[in-house]
Amino acid sequence: MDLADVDIEVGSIEFAASMDHWEGFTNFSKASIDSFISDKSCAYKFFLALEELISNIIRSAEELPSRHVTLKIAILKRTREGEDWLVVRTTDTGIEFDPHYHQRNSVDTNQPVHERAIGGLGIFLIEQSVDYAHYEWLNGSNINEISMRL
């Protein structure tokens, strides 16, 4: 029997991508993650990854003052090949930005900050904190999914 992916959206929130809505985005996200992931350490890591992603989207949007950028965060429960996953999908209407998850060299976190190449540490944090990260550009929107096995 071939098991197809099944997604059930359990909640979402959407606002302009700005710091004015930071608390709304993060409070919604933290409560959602905590309701699905019982291991506090795993929930914390997952939330930090999402917080980094939200921060990157908002910073990028605020660099485009002439453009109205929205951010939607959707919480999904996914069943894939018999396993349950928590998936958080962000969809934003900012400029296209492919983080190239899992296609970069690792960041040397032991190297002094002033000696590291600029960029990549936030994406590295996301990759290290979740079981799976995925990006696509679709219909004029950036779509990022970060997932953790339940």
CB 87, CB 29: distance < 8 Å: no
Cα–Cα dist 9/17, whole Å: 21
Q: Is 35 left (phi over 0), alpha (psi -120 to 50) or beta?
A: alpha
Structure letter (DSSP) for residue 75:
E
Q: What distances in angstroms separate CA 14 from CA 22, 25, 28, 106, one per listed residue?
A: 11, 8, 11, 33
pLDDT by residue for the chain (150 residues), tens digit each?
446 789 999 999 999 999 999 999 999 999 999 999 999 999 999 999 999 999 999 999 999 888 899 999 999 999 998 899 999 999 999 999 999 887 755 655 565 545 545 456 788 889 999 999 999 999 999 999 999 999
Q: Counting beta carbons within 10 angstroms of the beta carbon of residue 55, is it exposed (0 to 12), middle (13 to 18) or buried (19 or more)?
A: middle
Q: What distances in angstroms separate CA 108 from CA 45, 102, 121, one per listed residue?
A: 19, 15, 9
**pLDDT of the residue at 18:** 96
> Where would I find the H helices in the chain?
22-36, 40-62, 121-129
Q: What CATH superfamily is the domain 6-149?
A: Histidine kinase-like ATPase, C-terminal domain (3.30.565.10)
Q: Please give the model's pTM, rounded to 2 decimal places.
A: 0.86
Phi, psi of 42 (to 5 degrees): -65, -40
